[in-house]
Chain A
Amino acid sequence: MPLLEVEALRKYYRGRGRWRPGKERLIPAVDGISFQVEEGSALGLVGESGCGKTTTGRLILRLETPTAGSIRFDGQDILALRGERLRSWRQQAQMVFQDPQASLHPAMTVGEAIAEPLAYHSALSRREREERARELLAEVGLETVYFHRFPQELSGGQRQRVGIARALSLNPRLLVADEPLSALDVSIQAQILNLFIDLKERRRLTYIFISHNLAVVRRLCDQVGVMYEGRLVELQPVGDLFRAPGHPYTRALLRAIPRLEGRRRE
């Protein structure tokens, strides 16, 4: 049984004009998408900004309520979860954001930020939480000296490592990563990408990896979904997608990627 099953997921927003409200329009952000993700595998969601990939991630984590459709996690309908059961499910699915600067509290040290979720969701003592935070810091490849630093003292790559450690603190099974590399330099992207690959193997983590960079997705993901205007226009195992892209939009995306061979000048 797949860990995550998404079926006919839809999310519509209401929108209006500026001076003249006129008719209310329904804007489809996610328009009926379905996919399944096996435990320990990674699904890449690619597409341009505004294609609905971020909204999909937020819907899966129940940060937003879908207009229609179903999401099953380990066989249970998570849209029906309430109260204590929702709380305990939330520990199993965590998110990593594009801009860790914005998602880390500036007045909280790295150690406090990583240990914070444990204070809400576990019965660990203060000491045990700190111990755990140190382990996590080591796991994401940061030295212990950073434990007492503040986020603004770190580089972009280091902050993203802290964001990942924080997401891992509750031992989640599913990680939704929303453009976690886009704000980073190419060289740092490679470091963080390797970290994601390591964690996937070591922890058997399941990923929803949202990105506009197909090259990155290729190295991490097992299957790739290409989104366009709220729809999933193509969903294929990663090898097949790069070997034989089915949808013209996928082919256009692949063509647009700048390459070291540099075809444009000739």
Chain B
Amino acid sequence: MLNPLALVSEGADACADAHVADACVPDAHVADTCVPAAHVPGTAAPLLELREYSLRLRRDGTGLLDKVSFRLGTGEIVGLIGESGCGKTLLALSLIRLLEPNLFTVAGQVFWRGEDILAWPEKRLISWRGKELAMIFQEPMTSLNPVWRVGAQVAEAIRLHQPVGVKEAASLACQALRQAAVAAPERLMRQYPHELSGGLRQRVMLAIAMANRPRLILADEPTTALDVSIQAQILELMLRLREETGASFLLITHDLAVVAEVCDRALVMYAGRVVEAAATRDLLDTPRHWYTRGLLASLPGLDGEGRLPVIPGAVPAPAQYNWRGCGFAGRCRRALPRCGREPPPWSDVGAGHWVRCHAPA
């Protein structure tokens, strides 16, 4: 289920493919704001759409996210790739609006089924969070409250959004756990988190997230802390849940192989910006951004031997993000003089494959 990508610029809602390039070219400033987004066939509005979403620290104005734009359709699994410190987790926490509002300033728009959630009052957010949009976290060991039984923690999520009694909530919780492929949900309901393995805890987290049949689940490195065999089970479970409930996933990971296994499309983030967007196969077979290439090369496959090619250096701290040019220029082997000075524009390199690079591969 590959989705063709289309360009959407400010004010141009239905941007037909032929006119896209024209709409963007006129001046450099507009080119910078032109963004790739998924055109989801058959749906009037995408489930989630970000338009030039930016995030800064209120205290000193440090930029954290720079004009992030993408669309996510119903039933899609989209991967968000990048190293730690690129802003992936921040983006997710910011989408579910769990960041302390007085520490950050936001700009741009975030549309949820056509409505701008940045304008929503807290009351609306509370009835939306956990019901329509849920999140699971990287640390299954610490994400569950150690003093409540598992059953209570799942049932709590249900009672927050559904008008059911204690008994009914418990039976719904049991169902949710069964759906998350827990072998003996009745027994698990009475257990405490510390009695469970990491994989089982992540299943419980998935059950909590799925309990109210949300439309979208933000999964922040859900398998990074788990063993490979458990990771494979959790990924398969995500695919199955998508089939059964039609839910979409935004899967945050630094492991491209995980993306390859489950995602329809992927976005690559670097230093607070999305730098490449494409259908998964396209991205992995013909990566066009040098950062994506570096990430792919540094992945130890099962058939290689000896040293790995690496990306030199590390992601800078947000205060050192270079947004006047290409954020990756400092680590890029192919960097041109202008890479450090001019922000690269978005370019469509074919078949809905978008890249933000002055000299794409």
A–B direct touch in complex (beta carbons closer than 8 A)? yes
Interface residues of A (CB under 8 A from B): 48-50, 155-158, 185-191, 193-194, 197-198, 212-216, 218-219, 242, 252-265
B267 interface residue, CB < 8 Å from A? no
| Known contacts A186-B295, A262-B280, A194 near B84 by CB under 8 Å | no
Name the CB-closest residue of A to B223: A258
Q: Are A258 and B235 in contact (CB under 8 A)?
A: yes
Q: Are B306 and A197 in contact (CB under 8 A)?
A: yes
Specify which of A185, A198, A215, A219 is in contact with B83 (CB 8 Å cutoff).
A185
Specify which of A193, A194, A216, A264 is in contact with B261 (CB 8 Å cutoff).
A264
B258 interface residue, CB < 8 Å from A? yes
Interface residues on B, range: 35 or more
Name the CB-closest residue of B to A193: B308
Q: Are B229 and A264 in contact (CB under 8 A)?
A: no
Which chain A residues lie closer than 8 Å to B101 at the CB level? none
Specify which of B235, B258, B260, B298 is in contact with A187 (CB 8 Å cutoff).
B298
Min CB gap B202→A, angstroms: 13
Min CB gap B199→A, angstroms: 9
Q: Are A259 and B284 in contact (CB under 8 A)?
A: no
28 CB contacts below 8 A, A to B, read A48-B228, A49-B198, A155-B85, A155-B315, A156-B84, A157-B314, A186-B254, A186-B255, A188-B83, A188-B314, A190-B309, A191-B310, A194-B307, A213-B228, A215-B300, A242-B302, A242-B303, A255-B232, A256-B229, A257-B232, A258-B228, A258-B255, A258-B257, A259-B257, A259-B302, A260-B301, A262-B261, A264-B232
| Known contacts A218-B305, A264-B261, A48 near B298 by CB under 8 Å | no
| Known contacts A190-B310, A194-B308, A257 near B198 by CB under 8 Å | no
B60 interface residue, CB < 8 Å from A? no
Q: Which label, helix, strand, loop or mixed, suits the secondary structure of the A interface? A: helix
Q: Are B300 and A49 in contact (CB under 8 A)?
A: no
Name the CB-closest residue of A to B264: A265
Compute how far the CA of A189 lies from the CA of B309 in the bound complex, rounded to whole angstroms. Answer: 11
Name the CB-closest residue of A to B235: A264
Which chain A residues lie closer than 8 Å to B227 at the CB level? 48-49, 212
Min CB gap A195→B, angstroms: 10
Among B231, B298, B306, which residue has the most Cβ atoms of chain A within 10 A? B298
Q: Are B228 and A197 in contact (CB under 8 A)?
A: no
Compute how far the CA of A265 lies from the CA of B280 in the bound complex, rounded to whole angstroms. Answer: 11
Specify which of B284, B299, B300 is in contact with A218 (CB 8 Å cutoff).
B300
Q: Are A185 and B84 in contact (CB under 8 A)?
A: yes
Q: Are B260 and A258 in contact (CB under 8 A)?
A: yes
Min CB gap B334→A, angstroms: 17
Min CB gap B12→A, angstroms: 33
Compute how far the CA of A255 lies from the CA of B302 in the bound complex, rounded to whole angstroms. Answer: 11
Chain B stretch 255-289: residues in CB contact (< 8 A) with chain A? 255-258, 260-262, 280-281, 284
Interface string of B218-262 (1 = CB under 8 A from A): 000000000111111001100100000000000000111110111
B90 interface residue, CB < 8 Å from A? no
Min CB gap B250→A, angstroms: 17
Which chain B residues lie closer than 8 Å to A193 at the CB level? 300, 307-308
B304 interface residue, CB < 8 Å from A? yes
| Known contacts A257-B257, A259-B260, A186 near B299 by CB under 8 Å | yes
B294 interface residue, CB < 8 Å from A? yes
10 smallest CB-CB distances across A and B, nearest first, come from: A262-B260, A190-B298, A258-B257, A215-B300, A256-B232, A190-B308, A48-B227, A256-B229, A264-B261, A185-B83
Compute how far the CA of A261 lies from the CA of B198 in the bound complex, rounded to whole angstroms. Answer: 27
Compute how far the CA of A258 lies from the CA of B308 in the bound complex, rounded to whole angstroms. Answer: 18
Q: Are B302 and A215 in contact (CB under 8 A)?
A: yes
Q: Are A194 and B310 in contact (CB under 8 A)?
A: yes
Extra A-B contacts (12), CB below 8 Å, given A48-B229, A158-B314, A260-B257: A48-B230, A49-B198, A155-B315, A186-B256, A215-B299, A215-B300, A256-B228, A256-B231, A258-B228, A260-B256, A260-B296, A262-B280
